[in-house]
Amino acid sequence: MKIISQNTAFGGMQGVFAHESRSCKGEMTFAVYLPPQAINEPRPVLWYLSGLTCTHANVMEKGEYRRMASELGLIVVCPDTSPRGPEVPDELTNWQMGKGAGFYLDATEEPWAEHYQMYSYITEELPALIFEQFRADRSRQGIFGHSMGGHGAMTIALKNPERFRSCSAFAPIVAPSSADWSVGAFEKYLGADKATWRKYDSCALVEDGARFPEFLIDQGKADSFLENGLRPWLFEETVRGTGIGLTLRMHERYDHSYYFISTFMDDHLKWHSERLG
């Protein structure tokens, strides 16, 4: 693991690191905030997954999570959104595909399959590194994210309910199998058989029997992607009668930006902290 930067913040340490990834076949970068409590004891881990076009840096620089994470004693891990490097396939004119748009799935189609193994990277490889290198409590993990990262957080939680105690999302893509934002990417990454898409679709996972105790979703009503890409009401309809708890908060005047995310970041951190103990 290579140290790119380390800075003191609210008594803790904000670090950026890089390592050679077996899953993604190249160097991957990620950020970790260690609260001051992690000096002396293992602390709960909160995974934050970013959205389309983002890297680890977007939430690290604009998400405003460190003050509350320090107060609550939460370790916050912020991975990248896709593999990087000159050898990694990309579509330079398509922001919904390729670099910055890994969709937290394991691609099966060429030329994407060799590098775009983000589900395995997020659920297996990176956690192994985090628990080896940092004072993190494996038994207390939560996951959240924004947009494409909200989709990733929710699908990962639904597929791994024994691992995560909490899950929340800012403006998630809840049904990527039918959303304008993601259909093209899913077909290129996973092939034309839509049955294979269902394991990376929150609504489809619930329909197929996946369960998680509860979700918190915040969504801005002024979000320009609300109607065609996000559609949180579809998830609300899907979980009705399943026993899955859902707090869906719709906010007037808020859009899709980090102004929105930073406004409600403290709420999410407190929500996770209550469930992580």
∠ at Cα 266 (263, 272), nearest 5°?
135
Q: Which residues pair with 251 in a beta bridge?
A: 220
Q: Which residues are catalytic?
A: 147, 223, 256
Distance in angstroms (rounded) separating the CA atoms of residues 187 and 184: 5
Q: CB neighbours of 171 closer than 8 A, spacing ≥ 6?
A: 146, 147, 150, 218, 219, 220, 223, 225, 226, 230, 232, 256, 260
Burial profile 139-178: b = 16 or more Cβ within 10 angstroms, e = fewer: ebbbbbbbbbbbbbbbbbbbbeeeebbbbbbbbbbbbbbe
Distance in angstroms (rounded) separating the CA atoms of residues 16 and 35: 15
> Residue 137: is it exposed, middle or buried by C-beta count within 10 angstroms (0-12/13-18/19+)?
middle
Q: CB neighbours of 259 closer than 8 A, spacing ≥ 6?
A: none
